[in-house]
Amino acid sequence: MPILQSATALAAQIEQLYQQHSRQVLATLIRLLGDFDRAEDALQEAFSAALVQWPQTGVPASPVPWLISTGRFKAIDKLRQQQRFVSDGEVVLAQIASEEAGDSFALQMEQQWPDDYLRLVFTCCHPALSLEAQLALTLREVCGLTTEQIARAFLQTPSTIAQRIVRAKQKIKAAAIPYQVPPPQQLAPRLQAVHKVIYLLFNEGYSMPCQQSAPDDGMQQADLAQQAIDLARQLLVLHFDTESCGLLALLLLQHARRQARFTARGELILLADQQRQHWDQAMITEGIRHVETALSSGRIGAYAIQAAIAAVHSESPDSASTDWPQIHALYQLLYRLEPTPVVALNQLVAFSMCHGPAAALMQLAPLLADEHLAQYHLLFAVAADFHRQLGQNGEAINFYRQALALATTNADEQFLQQRLQDLAAK
């Protein structure tokens, strides 16, 4: 029998259910209702119904199936009321009303949740959509990021992202894009966008300590990173390939450092200064196992190389013993596959660890002139650090100020401000 709770405790539980399971509920509702907007309305209706009914009836033993079933029936009722005004009302109503209800409904939902989630990912990443639309829509609908979070990941305005998401939904509906995982022969070309979505999602969670998440983010940052890892695992189970394996390895090896990356006050700790005994050794072991599998399974991709770089760091007992020549060689290989300015910057940092900051500064000018890095605060932070190491404090201060003006997280801002204070005190 359901247990009645205080209003405060119940509201907190419903909020937790929303944060943890709303994307799961939405994915299944999209399958049942065949439409993004109907499913999103049904999701809100279901949680609204929970807020009204559960104080009287208690929380159901299986709250997620309850929410899905309630959302489905709310959608059916709404369609019946609006049937004459909706062009496809009769067809859709017949389709969604035919889904089996009753005692088997909860079991059926539990069995299909993982597939529903992946169906939604691949629908959002359909090749009929532009890559930018695929990424934005998946991050919004599958992962629950706000338009502001997505805009930050893409370095664009929230209004631009919102318009992109609306157009993507319209395209899916107009083109009747199927809600399904593609057959094996069509799967490989679709994986690139899915990999990028998972990686961007992880980076959003990895970029700051979870206590810095805004209360209205709808999801804690650490949960975003773990959600990306879970999605990468599901993808690898669905279809093994080198890049899926390398991606999972990369996320695991980076996430293994999560307890050592920030102070208790949320201040950023650089890799060289992290207490490595706080790294998650079980996660590192699993990540390295996936790296070895990826590197030995045939063609090596960009994620597998990045995972190999992370593995070199993870296997080093301390910063001083890091095999920087190997890391630099791996970045050179990565640049051949992905000749981007960001990879070039990372390669230059590894080069500086091998040959010193003075030699690295001689190669920095082209990156400082690259318009693609003009808003990338880490470029200016790297330039500042090269000058700082050489005792060129005036130049370092100027570059740190440029980096601070472009920083996007509180942790980065705090770190850069501390660097400026340290230099000003000299």
Asked if 242 and 299 touch (Cβ cutoff 8 Å), the reply is: yes
For the chain, which residues make up each domain, given as ranges?
A: 1-117, 125-176, 194-311, 351-426
What are the mean pLDDT values of the chain's consecutive 10-residue runs (426 residues total)? Answer: 66 88 89 87 93 89 90 86 58 53 48 71 88 87 84 82 94 87 78 86 74 42 76 83 94 94 87 93 96 88 96 93 97 96 97 97 96 94 97 96 93 93 88
Closest CA to 314 of 268, 350, 281, 269: 281
Q: Report pLDDT for 20.
A: 83
What pTM was computed for the model?
0.74
Q: Report pLDDT for 218.
A: 37
8-state DSSP, 4: P
Q: Report pLDDT for 215.
A: 39
Architecture of the domain defined by 351-426: Alpha Horseshoe (1.25)
Domain 125-176 = CATH 1.10.10.10: yes
Rounded Cα distance, 114 and 282, in Å: 25
